[in-house]
Amino acid sequence: MKVRTWRVGLAVLALGATPAFAETNSWSYDNNVSGVAFASDCCEPTCADPCCSDDVACGSGCEAGGLFSGCALAGPIEGLSLADLVGIDPECSSIEIGGWTNIAYYNKNIPLSQNFDDLLSFDDIPDHANLAQQWFYIGKVADGSAGRDFGGRIDVLYGTDAQKSQAFGNPGAGIRNNGFYDASLDHGYYGWAIPQAYMEVANGDLSTKVGHFFTPLGFEVIPATGNFFHTHSYTMFNSEPFTHTGALSTYSGFEGLTLYGGWTAGWDTGFTNNNSGSNWIGGFATELNENVTFTYLNTYGNFGWIDGGSKNSYSHSMVLVADLTDNLQYVGQSDLLRTDNPGVSQIDTIGLNQYMFYTLTDTLKVGGRAEWWKKDGTSFNEITGGVNIQALSNLVFRPEVRHDWSPGTDLDQTAVAIDAILTY
């Protein structure tokens, strides 16, 4: 079966049984990789940039460096820029182009995955050095500050993460190499995905995306550059959509408040729908004070593949982000998913995730995640701790240790993972 077939029933999750199976969210973790200014972009006084002048030396000033910045081999690596290769000056052009390479190793399947390449987790290919994400994107942000403006974006992904990021909610996508759009672009346990392909129009404080785009729900995201940890929470993989096809509007005209509203053709579909999928998506994000933000987003209606065509499915995600000090950040998240289609799909999940991130130095950050997630009465728990090591301004290493357990099942394991992300 295709991705996330755990939803056929919890019986396979005794974890002794064998189952069949660059854009980020507004509130996702900023690990200083996705938005870093590269050394190759420094001090090119071709644009009116206040941080670029003859008095600012590369490796200091406006961009962040790494532990090995300034070493002999650092310059060529930090100088990698896809924009430069295609002749686009990022300081002067509204076109954004770039990408990253993410190599990952983990010694055990990360639950709910149990078997090699079973598609029950992003991390289902243990004991291999995997190309998790080879990512490229090109786009333009629609800027409505001066009136109507147009934009859009396309993201292309190759790697072991691709098959979990495809439009697996499309009709016929339940079997590998089948389905419309990118759902059939498999290559063994590698594959291709096009997780975003949308147009955008903005006018003043109102902007609208139309096409195929990432979900705004949740804290963790598909792009590796948007997360502190390599491994993902149960909640992110099992209780949230990844992508949508439809239209989503954002209004930011109120002080400290952003509103979201739109329609999508179910969950995880790519330019089609499944079981007549049709659902609302929307909510709000608010700044409670200068250090605390809270977001509530939900989907309601027919989710398509996941609920078998029910018209009353509901999910929500609530995320609280609090900067406790200049160096310490807390994130709390709670998600709920319910479908009620008797004999077809009756899912009831709830989760509580808590994160703490502490910046020790400009090149070293530590983090922790504690999660409780329950599906249909069975609880799963995990605690993860790790560090982010900024080796270069565009290269980060993320080692971590994770322990999972579930009372009443055979799950009780500790796993280690490490990956590297090189952006350009």
What pLDDT, in 10s, does the model give residues 308-333? 999 999 999 999 999 999 999 999 99
Q: Which of the pair, 127 or 55, is modelled with greater confidence? A: 127
- Of 139, 52, 39, 143, the closest CA to residue 97 belongs to 139
Q: Which of the pair, 192 or 408, is modelled with greater confidence? A: 192
- Report d(CA 24, CA 225) in Å as an integer: 8
- Report d(CA 182, CA 11) in Å as an integer: 30
CB 206 within 8 A of CB 250: yes
Beta bridge partners of 246: 211, 264
Place 340 in a pLDDT band, splitting at 50, 70 and 90: confident
Q: Tens digit of pLDDT for each residue in 46-84?
A: 444 444 444 434 333 334 589 999 888 898 999 999 999
What is the reported pLDDT for 29? 61
When pLDDT is averaged across residues 236-265 and rounded to a whole number, the result is 98
Place 27 in a pLDDT band, splitting at 50, 70 and 90: low
- Report d(CA 122, CA 108) in Å as an integer: 12
CA atoms within 13 A on the CB side of 203: 1
